Amino acid sequence: MRELFWLIPLFPAFGAAFLILFGRVISRKLVSWLAPSLVGLSFLFSLLSYIQLNGVWVKELFSWIKVGNLSIPFALQFDPLSSIMAVTVSGVSFLIHIYSIGYMANDWGYNRYFAYLNLFTFSMLLLVLSANLPLMFIGWEGVGLCSYLLIGFWFEKDAAADAGKKAFIVNRIGDFGFLLGIFLLFTLFGNLSFNYINSHVSAVSPGIATAAALLLFVGATGKSAQLPLYIWLPDAMEGPTPVSALIHAATMVTAGVYMVSRLFPLYQHSGFALELVAWVGIITAIFAATIALAQNDIKRVLAYSTISQIGYMFAGVGVGAVAAGMFHLFTHAFFKSLLFLCAGAVIHGVGTNDMRKMGGLRKAMPVTFWTFLIAALTISGIPGFSAFFSKDEILKEAYLSGHKWIWAIGVITAGLTAFYIFRLIFMTFYGEYRGEGHPHEAPKVMLIPMSILALFSIIGGWFPKSFAHYLSPLGYIKVIEASHSLEIYLLGASLILAIIGIYIAWLVYVKRKGKGWNFGFVYRVIYGKYYVDELYNFLFVTPYRKGSELINRYFDKGVIDRTVEGSGEAALGGGNLLSKLQTGLLKDYGLWMATGIIIGLFLAIRSLL
Amino acid sequence: MSVFSLFLLSALLFAGGMAGFFIRRDLVTMLLSSEIMLAGANLALLTFATMRNSIEADAIVLIVLTVAAAEVAVALAAIAVVVRRKEEATERTVSEMKG
C-alpha cells in the first residue's frame, strides 16, 4: 500500500470528472453504482494503508511549481494523523453516498449531485493527504467550492442560493487570512512542507510564529465555523440533508481542527496562538450550544450543535491535547453524520424541518427513532458511547493542563448539549403528531447506512490503547496520565450535568408538553441567535452597501462616467472646430496647398544653404 | 535664348497661372490656369534637361503631359455635369464640402 496510497484521492477525482463530463447522458442507475463504489474503493485503500502504516509515508508524484527558490512538489503524506482523517472521510463519505441514493431518488439533479459529492470527497482527501501547505490550500478551496455548490444545490430556491453565497463569502474572508499565513510561512521558512516547518519552528521567534499561526487560524475559523465566522453554517442547512451530514458536520468543517493539529508545533512554539485557539474553541462551544437550546428547525439545532462540538475539538487541541481533539473529531464524524442522516430520514418522512410540526414519530419510524436515540446518547456523553470517551478526554486534558475555566465551561456545555439534543428527541418522537399527512419510515437504502453509523457511534470510542499512543510517531504528541480517582471525579461532573440536562428536557417537553416555561427576554435573545446576523448586517453589510452607493454616486457617476462622456464630447467639439477649415471652396484648399509648398520649399532651401 | 530668360518665362507662366487660379471664379478658367501652371513647370524641367544634357527630365515632362491630358478630360466632364445640374459652373456652386 505504501506505493499505492496516492490513489486514494484519485478514485473520486475520476468519478467527479466522469460525471461532470458525461452526467447528462448516462443513466441514474449507472451513477448510483459508479459514484458510491469509487468512494468505496478510496475507503478500502485508506483502510488497507491504515492497517499497514508504519511511521510516515510521503509520496512525491511530480514537481508541481518550480519558480526561483520556490519549489512545491505534488506530494501526498500518509501518517497517523492524515490516515485517521482519510479513513473517516472516505468511510463516512461512502455511507452518505449510499444514503443519498435513497434520499435524492426523486431529484431532477441526481447526476449533478453525485458529481459534486465525488468532487467534494476528492478535495477533502487531497486536503488531508497533502504534504505541504499549497496543496492543502487547493483541497481547502476545493471543499469550499463544493460546499457552495451543494448548499446552493436547489438554486431555484432563493434561500438556498443566498445561503450558498453567504457560505462562500464568509469562507473567502477566512481563506484570505489562510493565504496570508502561507505567504508569511514561506518568507520565514522558504519551504512549505509540513514536516519541514514542524521540525524547524524553533528557528523563528515566537512572535512571528504567533502571527503566522493566527493568520492560519483565521482560515480555520472560517472553514470550521468558529467565532466570529460561524454564521454561514446554520444557513448552510438549506442544502440537501446528506450534504449537511457529510460536509457541514462530519468532514469539511473539521478541516480547521486538522490543520491546527497538523501544524501543532508552530502553535505550540507561539504559545499565545494555542491559548487563543483553546479559548475561541470553548467560547464557541458554549455560545453555539445556548443558541441550539431554542431553535425549532431540526437541522439548525444540529448545525449549532456541530459548531459547538467543533469548538470542543479546538479547545482540546488548544490545551495541547491534539490526540483528544482528533479523537473527538473521529467520534463526532460518526455520531453527527448519524444525527443528520436521522434528521434527513425524519424530514423525508414528514416533509418539513419544523419540529413544532412533528412529534410522536416513535411508532411510525422505529428504526430512525432508535438510531437517533443512540446518536443523542452519544453526543450527551453517556458512558459506553464513543463521545463519552472523546469528550471527557478533552475535558480531562483541559483540567490537567491547568485550564480550569475551559474545563468548567466545557462541563456546562456538556449539560446544555444533553438538554438540546433530548429536547429535539422529545419534540420529534414523543407526544402527539402535530403535522399533516402520514409520516412513513425511510427506505432500506437510507436505514442501512444509518444503522452502520449507529454501530460506529457506539464502538467508535473503544480503543484498546489511547489515541495519543497511536499518534505518537508524529513526535509532538504527549501522553498525560491522570490518577484514577481524579479521572472518575472529572467524569462524574460532566455526566451529572448531562443527566440533569436530559431530565430537564424530559420535564419540559414530555411531562409539561413544552408549556408553561417562558423565560421571556433571555429566550427571545437566544431564539434570535444573539442577533449576531443582525449585528453583522449593521456593522458590515449595511455600511458596505451604503459605501458602495456613495462610491457609485460620486466616483462611478462623477469621475468614471464623466471621464468617458467627457472624452467623447471633447472629440465631438474638436471635430466641429476643425471642420470649420473645410470651406468647400477650391481656392481655399489651393491656398493651403500653396502655403504648405512654400513653407516646405523654404525649409528645404534653408537646410541646403 | 538664354537660360535665364527661359526660367523667367517659366516663372511668369507659373505665377500667372497661380494668380488666375486664385482670382477667377468660373471652374473652366481655373482649370485653364492650372494647366498654365503645369506648362510653366514643364518649361523649367525642359530647361534643366537641356542644361544638364540629360533625358530624365524629358521623360518626366512626357508623364506630366499625359496626366494633364487625362486630368483635363475628367475635369471637363465633371464641369459639364456641374453645368447640367446647377446652371452655372463657378466655385460657389460646388462648395458642398463645407464643414
**DSSP assignment of B3-33:** HHHHHHHHHHHHHHHHHHHHH--BHHHHHHH
Please tell me if residue B79 touches chain A, with a CB cutoff of 8 Å: no
Neighbours of A61 (CB within 10 A): 11
For B99, the closest of A580, A591, A594 (CB atoms) is A580
Measure the CA–CA gap between B35 and A585, rounded to whole angstroms: 19
Contacts of residue A19, Cβ cutoff 8 Å, sequence gap at least 6: A26, A31, A34, A35, A111, A112, A114, A115, A118
Rounded to 5°, the CA angle A264-A318-A376 comes to 115
The confidence score (pLDDT) of residue A137 equals 93
For chain B, state the CA radius of gyration: 16
What cell numbers appear for A56 in the block? 510516515
Q: Do B94 and A586 touch (CB under 8 A)?
A: yes
Per-residue pLDDT band at B8 (split at 50, 70, 90)? very high
Give the residue from B28, B91, B92 with the most A CB atoms within 10 Å of its CB, the best one to mutate: B91
- H or E, element range at A66: strand A57-67
- Residue B42 reports pLDDT greater than 90: yes
Residue A591 with chain B: CB contacts under 8 Å:
22
For B21, the closest of A582, A584, A590 (CB atoms) is A590
Q: Do A587 and B91 touch (CB under 8 A)?
A: yes
What cell numbers appear for A289 in the block? 450550544
A594/chain B closest Cα distance in angstroms: 9
pLDDT digits (tens, 9 = 90+) for A264-280: 999 989 889 999 999 99
Those residues of chain A that have pLDDT short of 50 are none
Q: Do B91 and A581 touch (CB under 8 A)?
A: no
**Is the distance from CB of A51 to CB of A109 less than 8 angstroms?**
no
Q: Which residues of B1-18 are buried (b: 16+ CB within 10 A; e: fewer)?
A: eeeeebeeebeebbeebb
The confidence score (pLDDT) of residue A401 equals 84
What cell numbers appear for A16 in the block? 467527479
The confidence score (pLDDT) of residue A239 equals 86
- HSE-CB at B84 with a 13 A cutoff on CA atoms is 6
Please tell me if residue B91 touches chain A, with a CB cutoff of 8 Å: yes
Residue B95 with chain A: CB contacts under 8 Å:
583-585
B71/chain A closest Cα distance in angstroms: 16
A546/chain B closest Cα distance in angstroms: 49
A297 bridge partner residues: A354
Please return the burial class of A429, using the count of CB atoms within 10 Å of its CB with bins 0-12, 13-18 and 19+: buried
**Is the distance from CB of A426 to CB of A68 less than 8 angstroms?**
no
Which one-letter DSSP state was computed for residue A26? S
Direct distance between the N- and C-terminal alpha carbons of chain A, in angstroms, rounded to an integer: 93
Q: Do B95 and A584 touch (CB under 8 A)?
A: yes
Residue A586 with chain B: CB contacts under 8 Å:
27, 30, 91, 94
B83/chain A closest Cα distance in angstroms: 17
Please return the burial class of B71, using the count of CB atoms within 10 Å of its CB with bins 0-12, 13-18 and 19+: middle
B96/chain A closest Cα distance in angstroms: 6
**Is the distance from CB of A90 to CB of A42 less than 8 angstroms?**
yes
Question: What's the whole-number average pLDDT of chain B?
Answer: 89
Q: Which residue of A has its CA nearest to B24?
A: A587
Neighbours of A265 (CB within 10 A): 19
Measure the CA–CA gap between A593 and A554, rounded to whole angstroms: 49
Q: Do A591 and B97 touch (CB under 8 A)?
A: no
For B98, the closest of A583, A590, A594 (CB atoms) is A583
Neighbours of A433 (CB within 10 A): 16
Which one-letter DSSP state was computed for residue A466? -
Contacts of residue A283, Cβ cutoff 8 Å, sequence gap at least 6: A227, A311, A409
CA A149 to chain centre: 13
Is the model's pTM score more than 0.90?
A: no
Which one-letter DSSP state was computed for residue A339? H
Neighbours of A533 (CB within 10 A): 15
- Residue B62 reports pLDDT greater than 90: yes
- HSE-CB at A335 with a 13 A cutoff on CA atoms is 32
Instruction: Find, among A344, A333, A334, A335, the residue nearest to A242 by Cα.
Output: A344
Rounded to 5°, the CA angle A584-A587-A592 comes to 95
Measure the CA–CA gap between A43 and A484, rounded to whole angstroms: 37
A598/chain B closest Cα distance in angstroms: 13
Measure the CA–CA gap between A271 and A265, rounded to whole angstroms: 10
For B97, the closest of A578, A582, A590 (CB atoms) is A582
- Residue B99 reports pLDDT greater than 70: no
Q: Do A584 and B96 touch (CB under 8 A)?
A: yes
**Is the distance from CB of A169 to CB of A147 less than 8 angstroms?**
no
Which one-letter DSSP state was computed for residue A483? P
Report strand pairing: A70-78 vs A57-67.
Answer: antiparallel
Residue B18 with chain A: CB contacts under 8 Å:
594
Measure the CA–CA gap between A299 and A339, rounded to whole angstroms: 9
What cell numbers appear for A290 in the block? 445556548
For B30, the closest of A580, A586, A591 (CB atoms) is A586
Please return the burial class of A24, using the count of CB atoms within 10 Å of its CB with bins 0-12, 13-18 and 19+: exposed
CB pairs < 8 Å spanning A and B: 31
Q: Do A582 and B22 touch (CB under 8 A)?
A: no
Q: Position of cell 442544502?
A: A239
Residues of chain A in Cβ contact (below 8 Å) with chain B: 578-587, 590-591, 594
Interface of B with A in 9-68 (CB under 8 A): 18, 21-22, 27, 30
B45/chain A closest Cα distance in angstroms: 17
Please tell me if residue B7 touches chain A, with a CB cutoff of 8 Å: no
Question: Which domains does chain B carry?
Answer: 3-97 (1.10.287.3510)
Q: Do B99 and A590 touch (CB under 8 A)?
A: no
Q: Do A582 and B18 touch (CB under 8 A)?
A: no
For B91, the closest of A582, A585, A591 (CB atoms) is A585
- H or E, element range at A216: helix A206-223
Q: Do B98 and A582 touch (CB under 8 A)?
A: yes
A565/chain B closest Cα distance in angstroms: 24
